[in-house]
Structure 1
Amino acid sequence: MAKSSKLTLLFLFFCPILLLAKIDTIEVFSKAMNKSLKATVVLPSDSEVKDKDYPSVYVLHGAWGGYLDWHKNVTKPNLLQNLADQYQMILITPGVAPFSYYYDSPLMDSVQYETYISKELIPFVDQNYPTKKDKNARGITGLSMGGHGAMMIAAKHPDLFSAAGSMSGVMNIDVRTWIGNESTQEERRKSQREMLGNINYDYPYSPYTAVGLISEMKENKIALLIDCGIDDFLIETNRQLHQLLLENGTPHEYTERPGAHTWEYWTEALPFHILFIHQAFEKKK
């Protein structure tokens, strides 16, 4: 045997191949909307050999996005797989319509994403994967529109989650609180009218927006993490929610740091969110 071949065999013997977390793509039929939607499920690399259940975290995408965003757009390769292994948890990335904000529309049967996440996707994942079927081992977070979805769904379904987070989230869907992008803002207002009709954008805020759910956030006692870049066009909506939570005495973590509405920011933010949610799980043990 050649010397180089012997060295290769020795290296493989003493340095086992590192396995990445497993990624499944699933398709879940929504009875509420009469359509199927895709999601990815990221499992720890040892999930097939270990007879155990894992906590789960739902990681939501933003507007114009899809279920593969957290795999394709992050600036660090294999970010979700590495986090799933590091914290021994299952990460789920659902896909929804571009400007749905994860709410249930009172006007459109095709926009029932709160029901989809809370009553269709979670039961499907729990039935088909080794998750801990317990709110104390389930979390949710997301970016931009997904940050709104995570905070809203957690506030309205405290029986499902023990921790929720938002990265650069649309904490108020009222486009008057956004900075710049006037043409985009008008498009969003138009789509909101189509899905929600006439809602109250002023105090007392509509329950279709995160700032309208601060009473639920206080009552539910779910661990909350909110962060936003100081150069983000949504910074004022995050500051608004932060101030409202301070005023009503809701415990939460709030961070502003350098950054804008970019994948560089969200790539750096996600590990902090997973750590925060992991620590919330540990406190509930």
Structure 2
Amino acid sequence: MKYIFLWLGLLAGMFSASAAKVDTLEVYSPSMKKNIKTVVALPDNYNPAKKYPVVYLLHGYSGNYAAYARMPGVMETADLYQVLLVCPDGGYGSWYWDSPVDPAFKYETFVSDELVHWVDKSYATIAARTGRAILGLSMGGHGALYLAIKHPDVFGATGSMSGGVDIRPFPDNWDMAKRLGKYSKYPERWEQNTVINLLYRIEPNTLKIIIDCGTSDFFYPVNEALHKELLLRNIPHDYITRPGAHNTEYWQNSIQYQLLFMHRFFENGAKNKK
């Protein structure tokens, strides 16, 4: 454990010397016909002549576009790892679906298509799945896995922190029924839009996956079930559990491991090109 604290201390020293450029912008969504606030962090030495990988960060149910900017040390990793960090607003309880109930909620289309195209057009990015990763916490953990599995041509790596990776045990929670319809009336929608039921779509060795959940988290049982199903299907993934609950204190630690995982994914992609 002392080595973990030493590593985190070294990271803190690196962050103190970093000064990523962070802007809050508005990105227009044609599918929803509205502007979506989005935080974008660039390396301080950002050079348009270079090509940078991009990490998309999805917030939780009660969060918004600024959630990660408020976490100490997160935006600075744009400098540390020479990546772009993009943090879109995911709406209140969108779960990053294209809602079959409410046409004002098309966040799958926005994040996986409209936002990605806007970022690639606006910045010097590696415009390929090898240069894109997506991660999130809680509702955003579900969203990150959901979008990466459904759009393997867009994202090459994905991560979930305390994610709601199986929605079915929670039919009355977090506005999910408002987006999909009641579970009792539309069970097929719930079955088709829960992450644990989408694993059949993952082709072998195509998606890098990291999952992290605290043992006192109310989502811990569904994360354990997802881990076992991934093992059963022989789908490689990193799975981390440790003492902790569903709170910011846990996520502030988790996200550093997730971002390091994404950095290593990008590095391996760059090496394979040589």
Q: Do these two structures clear the TM 0.5 threshold for a shared fold by scoring above it?
A: yes
176, 186, 206: which one aligns with 2:172: 186
Mapped to 2, the partners of 1:171 and 1:19 lie a distance apart of 34
- Is 2:46 aligned against 1:47? yes
Mapped to 2, the partners of 1:119 and 1:256 lie a distance apart of 32
Encode CA deviations 1:91-115: one digit per residue, 9 max, x unaligned.
0111011211101111211111000
Matches within 5 A, 1:191-230: 191-197=175-181, 198-200=185-187, 206-219=191-204, 221-230=206-215
| Counterpart for residue 144 of structure 1 | 138
| Counterpart for residue 107 of structure 2 | 113
CA 88–168 in structure 1, closer or farther in 2 if over 3 Å, else same: same
Mapped to 2, the partners of 1:280 and 1:254 lie a distance apart of 16
Which structure 2 residue ranges, 5 or more long, are not aligned? 1-15
Q: For the Cα contact (< 8 Å) 1:218–1:251, is it kept in 2? A: no
Q: TM-score, normalised by structure 1?
A: 0.83
User: SS of the counterpart of 2:154?
Assistant: coil
CA 123–220 in structure 1, closer or farther in 2 if over 3 Å, else same: farther
Amino acid at match of 1:52: K
| Counterpart for residue 93 of structure 1 | 87
Which structure 1 residue ranges, 5 or more long, are not aligned? 1-16, 177-184
Larger C-alpha radius of gyration, 1 or 2?
1
Q: 1:195: how far off?
A: 1.8
Mapped to 1, the partners of 2:145 and 2:22 lie a distance apart of 26
- Between Structure 1 and Structure 2, how many residues are aligned? 252
Encode CA deviations 1:211-266: one digit per residue, 9 max, x unaligned.
11111134572000001001111101101111111111111111101111111111
Mapped to 1, the partners of 2:146 and 2:18 lie a distance apart of 36
* Identity across matched positions, percent: 40
Q: 1:141: how far off?
A: 0.2
222, 228, 251: which one aligns with 1:266: 251
Encode CA deviations 1:5-55: one digit per residue, 9 max, x unaligned.
xxxxxxxxxxxx95511012111111111111101100001005x731110
- Is 2:155 aligned against 1:156? no
| Counterpart for residue 135 of structure 1 | 129
| Counterpart for residue 24 of structure 1 | 23
RMSD across aligned C-alpha pairs, in angstroms? 1.9
